[in-house]
């Protein structure tokens, strides 16, 4: 059944769709989907092949597949925690289905004799294979169920909104796809022979049967997205030059005091970047600077220098980190460095109760707190500053241009905007910096502090896991500490966490004399903090973690890192992870565990990791490898949240995109807003603000 075909139906709020009430609409908002049209531009992050059923005997670790069979046996076991194990048999072999969370109804229905179709990722479990929390579908012996005949798109989603529901809504919106206005200038479409917009969108949401992932690159959408992004950053830059900020005179009293107390001297590169910032802060337009510095280059100190400049001038500073873990770590560093100077650091966490928080919030409002550290909890409505002068965003690649703008708005006081400093470890080739961060000025810390020992990297077949475990044992005996990073392609955080839990349990069993800890995104802030503190103190020797530790964590005694499923990860992410070791003076190593057989690109990525630790070199190789290799996977590459385009892979479009941007501004100025709205999820400037206040 279709909705009435009004031409502007797509511009209606999503609640205009059948079955979308306020509850669903609220979930959609979290995905940046407000209007029906936004559903069309909510694009798959990858595709699953559910077009055939695999015999269990043929399964290989790492595959994401459909299987069918009968439950032979089901049991609830205690392995540190309660779990339900079902043994699924299809005549060719047996597969374990593992459930960590289950209701008594589920326990009842997943019993012996039940016929199931399951979709999930195949993993190793001792000598057997398993799926953790597969999607299950009950079958009846007398009624065969059809299977998909085309690839199934997987969308980014949010807690409480199932893929299936999202797909249904997108299907409804697709019925109106032909009424979408075409926003590209006609000559651009003609010159590049782009297909109609509706064609690309249909293809992505409902791949024609027989299509391969490689055949689906949507050039037109890629172009449009890059164009929207370019227009967005141009606009942001322009607007920023029109507003005021407080000019802060140079006064390095505090900074000199801190320098004398530090056990090391800033590197030349740090000093140079600090000089750039000092110059910016003295102007009466807002600073808007991006500092790029490889992992371990000492960005925190640069941030502190900037903060001290503002504080000396009587202003407050907000330092925002992407995770609680990093916020906590910054907080500890700041207290250590700044308390002796009489500077008060306030930690604002999303996990604090209103009571715990009240005092801190008051201190900021009264100006007793000089610098506030936190995640985006910092920008909730309840947090107000007396005189906010500078916002620092650490590990910026999780925040897009619109979040940056929203933050700035939030910090606005009277006619004055705060200065803004963003810091990232993601190496960005210069040409891309223009587009990726066109609204920002740019400085690079291109030097590591002296005395770092190089990291040795090896790639090992997962079958040699035992040797790795031996190595961990040896490292721990020598008083060293170890990270073990679990990764999954699965977008679900829940599954990531479970994988880490299983690994931690196994390692604990194998290494009884080693203190094993676990951090993942599902732990409470205080639990994580506790775990990290223990790791820092050396009470935990082996830390099993999901990629939550990807950015910024600093434990110099950790000298060995093991990364599982390394073949699936992007180069820049691997590089970021590896940066957690090699921070002290002991020789460090990184073990990349991979699943045999390796694809060509994966092999090259691992080779690159083995041969260099230079972030820019890695970025270049990444660029090269991304050629035709990856199709839709832009999310992992970090820097900017693009949906179909990849700044690296698609950079050959950039000159044409810049020309098109000029064309649109000159001849179709009314399309600027429509394009940025379509792609940057900013219907009225509210979304990002809501995001930061929720």
44, 120, 134, 266: which one contacts ligand ADP (CB under 6 A)?
266
Binding segment (CB under 6 A) for ligand ADP, from list 265-273, 275-283, 472-480, 497-505: 265-273
Q: Given its phi and psi angles, is residue 91 left (phi above 0), alpha (psi -120 to 50 degrees) or beta?
A: left
CB 224 within 8 A of CB 183: yes
Q: Which of 154, 234, 292, 300 binds ligand ADP (CB under 6 A)?
A: 300
Judged by CB under 6 A, the residue of 299, 480, 605, 643 near ligand ADP is 299
Q: Under the phi-then-psi rule, with left for phi > 0, alpha for psi from -120 to 50, and beta for the rest, what region is 51?
A: alpha
Q: Is the dihedral of CA 177, 182, 186, 190 positive or negative?
A: negative
Stretch that binds ligand ADP, among 49-57, 74-82, 99-107, 261-269 (CB under 6 A): 261-269
Whether the CA torsion 573, 577, 583, 586 is positive or negative: it is: negative
Which of residues 332 and 651 has its CB atom nearest to ligand ADP in the complex? Answer: 332
Partner whose binding site includes residue 682, from ligand ADP, Mg ion, none (CB under 5 to 8 Å by kind): none
Q: Is 582 in the site for ligand ADP (CB under 6 A)?
A: no
Closest distance between ligand ADP and the C-beta of residue 345, in Å?
A: 16
Bond before 563 cis per omega within 30 degrees? no
CB 204 within 8 A of CB 34: no
Q: Which helix (H) or strand (E) holds 676?
A: helix 670-680
Give the dihedral sign, CA 187/190/191/195.
positive
Edge to edge, what strands does the sheet with 419-424 contain? 345-348, 371-374, 316-320, 388-394, 419-424, 288-293, 441-445
User: For residues 317 and 502, which CB has a smaller minimum distance to ligand ADP in the complex?
Assistant: 317
Decide if residue 552 touches ligand ADP (CB under 6 A).
yes
Task: Report d(CA 383, CA 205) in Å as an integer.
Answer: 41
Pick the closer one to Mg ion by CB: 301 or 621.
301
**Among Mg ion, ligand ADP, none, partner that 267 touches (CB below 5 to 8 angstroms by kind):** ligand ADP
- Hey, is 648 helix, strand or coil? coil
Of the pair 426, 503, the CB lying nearest ligand ADP is at 426
Which residue of 270, 506, 546, 559 would you call a contact of ligand ADP, by CB under 6 A? 270
Q: How far is the CB of 632 from ligand ADP (least distance, A)?
A: 30
* Interaction of residue 295 with ligand ADP, rule CB under 6 A: yes
Q: Which of 121, 554, 567, 639 binds ligand ADP (CB under 6 A)?
A: 554
Q: At its nearest, how many Å lie between Mg ion and the CB of residue 305?
A: 14
Using alpha carbons, list the distances in angstroms from residue 409 to 240, 247, 568.
Answer: 11, 18, 38
**Residue 209 burial by Cβ neighbours in a 10 Å radius (0-12, 13-18, 19+):** exposed
DSSP-based three-state secondary structure for 82: strand
Q: How many helices and strands in the chain, by DSSP H and E?
A: 23, 22
| 68/116 Cα distance (integer angstroms) | 6
Q: Which of residues 379-438 bind ligand ADP (CB under 6 A)?
A: 425
Name the one residue in this structure whose structure tokens are 């065969």.
Answer: 144
Residue 157 or 426: the one with the smaller Cβ distance to ligand ADP is 426
Of 133 and 299, nearer to Mg ion (C-beta) is 299
- Member of 218, 552, 570, 615 binding Mg ion (CB under 5 A): 552
Out of Mg ion, ligand ADP, none, what residue 138 binds, judged by CB under 5 to 8 A for its kind, is none
Residue at shortest CB range from Mg ion: 552
Closest CB to Mg ion among residues 9, 331: 331
Q: Which of 185, 367, 429, 449 binds ligand ADP (CB under 6 A)?
A: 449
Residue with the shortest CB distance to ligand ADP: 298
Count of residues touching ligand ADP (by CB under 6 A): 17
- Is 62 a binder of ligand ADP (CB under 6 A)? no
Separation CA 459–CA 609 (nearest Å):
9
Applying CB under 5 A, the site for Mg ion has a residue count of 2
Pick the stretch among 290-298, 512-520, 601-609, 620-628 that binds ligand ADP (CB under 6 A): 290-298
When asked if residue 93 is in the footprint of ligand ADP (CB under 6 A), the reply is no
Place of tokens 């503190």: 533
Burial level of 489, CB count in 10 A (0-12/13-18/19+)?
A: middle
Report the distance separating Cα 100 and Cα 98, nearest Å. Answer: 7
**Beta strand 46-48 with 152-154: parallel, antiparallel or unpaired?**
antiparallel
| Locus of tokens 């490889």 | 294
Among 301, 338, 406, 569, binds ligand ADP (CB under 6 A): 301
Contact between 298 and Mg ion by CB under 5 A: the answer reads no
Handedness of CA 548, 551, 553, 556 (dihedral sign): positive
User: Which region, judged by CB under 6 A, interacts with ligand ADP, from 103-111, 295-303, 475-483, 563-571?
Assistant: 295-303
Residue 296 is a binding residue for ligand ADP (CB under 6 A): yes
CA separation (Å) from 474 to 226, 454, 456, 460, 641?
Answer: 50, 20, 16, 18, 41
Smallest distance from the beta carbon of 252 to ligand ADP, in angstroms?
17
Closer Cβ to ligand ADP, 297 or 506, answer by number = 297
**Closer residue to Mg ion, CB minimum distance, 419 or 580:** 580
Distance CA 436, CA 400 (A): 9
Site string for Mg ion, 412-431 (x = CB under 5 A): --------------------
Positions touching Mg ion (CB under 5 A) are 299, 552
Positions touching ligand ADP (CB under 6 A) are 264, 266-267, 270, 293, 295-301, 425, 449, 552, 554, 583
């Amino acid at each position: 059944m279709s909705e009435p075909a009004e031409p502007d139906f797509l511009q209606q709020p999503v609640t205009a769709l059948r079955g979308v009430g306020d509850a669903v609409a609220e979930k959609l908002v979290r995905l940046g989907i407000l209007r029906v049209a936004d559903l069309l531009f909510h694009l798959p992050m990858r595709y699953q092949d559910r077009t055939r059923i695999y015999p269990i005997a043929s399964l290989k670790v790492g595959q994401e597949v459909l299987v069918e069979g009968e439950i032979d046996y089901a049991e609830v076991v205690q392995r540190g925690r309660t779990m339900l194990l079902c043994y699924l048999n299809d005549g060719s072999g047996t597969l374990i289905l593992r459930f960590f969370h289950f209701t008594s109804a589920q326990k009842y229905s997943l019993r012996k004799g039940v016929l199931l179709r399951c979709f999930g990722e195949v993993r190793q479990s001792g000598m057997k294979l398993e799926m953790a929390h597969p999607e299950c579908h009950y079958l009846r012996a007398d009624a065969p169920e059809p299977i998909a005949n085309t690839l199934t798109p997987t969308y980014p989603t949010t807690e409480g909104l199932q893929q299936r529901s999202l797909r249904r809504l997108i299907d409804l919106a697709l019925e109106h796809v032909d009424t979408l206005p075409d926003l590209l200038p006609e000559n651009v479409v003609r010159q590049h022979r782009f297909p109609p917009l509706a064609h690309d969108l249909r293809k992505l949401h409902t791949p024609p049967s027989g299509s391969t992932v490689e055949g689906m690159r949507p050039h037109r959408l890629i172009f449009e997205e890059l164009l929207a992004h370019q227009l967005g950053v141009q606009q942001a830059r322009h607007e920023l030059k029109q507003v005021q900020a407080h000019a802060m005179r140079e006064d390095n009293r505090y900074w000199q005091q801190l320098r004398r107390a530090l056990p090391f001297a800033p590197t030349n590169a740090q000093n140079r970047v600090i000089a750039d910032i000092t110059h910016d802060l003295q102007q009466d337009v807002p600073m808007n600077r991006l500092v790029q510095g490889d992992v371990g280059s000492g960005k925190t100190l640069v941030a502190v220098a900037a903060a001290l400049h503002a504080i000396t001038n009587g202003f407050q500073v907000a330092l925002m980190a992407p995770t609680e873990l990093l916020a906590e770590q910054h907080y500890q560093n700041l207290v250590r460095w700044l308390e002796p100077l009489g500077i008060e650091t306030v930690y604002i966490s999303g996990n604090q109760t209103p009571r715990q928080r009240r005092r801190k919030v008051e201190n900021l409002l009264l100006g007793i707190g000089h610098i506030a550290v936190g995640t985006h909890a910092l920008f909730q409505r309840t947090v107000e500053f007396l005189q906010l002068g500078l916002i620092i965003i650490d590990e910026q690649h999780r925040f897009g241009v619109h979040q940056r703008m929203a933050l700035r708005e939030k910090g606005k006081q009277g006619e004055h905007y705060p200065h803004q400093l963003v810091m990232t470890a993601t190496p960005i080739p210069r040409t891309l910096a223009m587009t990726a961060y066109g609204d920002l000025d740019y400085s690079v810390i291109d030097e590591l502090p002296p005395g770092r020992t190089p990291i040795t990297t090896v790639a090992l077949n997962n079958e040699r896991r035992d040797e790795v475990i031996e190595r961990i044992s040896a490292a721990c005996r020598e008083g060293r500490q170890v990270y073990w990073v679990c990764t999954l392609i699965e977008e679900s955080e829940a599954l990531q966490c479970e994988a880490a839990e299983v690994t931690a349990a196994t390692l604990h069993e194998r290494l009884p004399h080693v203190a094993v800890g676990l951090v993942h995104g599902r732990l409470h802030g205080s639990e994580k903090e506790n775990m990290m503190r223990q790791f820092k103190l050396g009470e935990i020797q082996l830390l099993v973690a999901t990629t939550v530790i990807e950015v910024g964590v600093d434990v110099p005694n950790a000298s060995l890192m093991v990364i599982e499923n390394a073949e699936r990860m992007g180069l820049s992410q691997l590089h970021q992870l590896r940066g957690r070791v090699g921070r002290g003076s002991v020789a460090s190593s990184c073990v990349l565990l991979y699943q045999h057989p390796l694809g060509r690109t994966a092999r090259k990525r691992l080779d690159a990791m083995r041969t260099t630790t230079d972030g820019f070199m890695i970025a270049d190789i990444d660029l090269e490898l991304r050629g035709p290799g990856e199709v839709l996977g832009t999310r992992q590459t970090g820097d900017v949240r693009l949906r179909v385009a990849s700044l690296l892979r698609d950079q050959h479009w950039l000159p044409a995109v810049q020309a098109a941007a000029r064309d649109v501004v000159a001849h179709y100025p009314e399309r600027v807003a429509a394009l940025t709205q379509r792609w940057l999820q900013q219907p009225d400037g509210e979304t990002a603000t809501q995001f930061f206040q929720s």
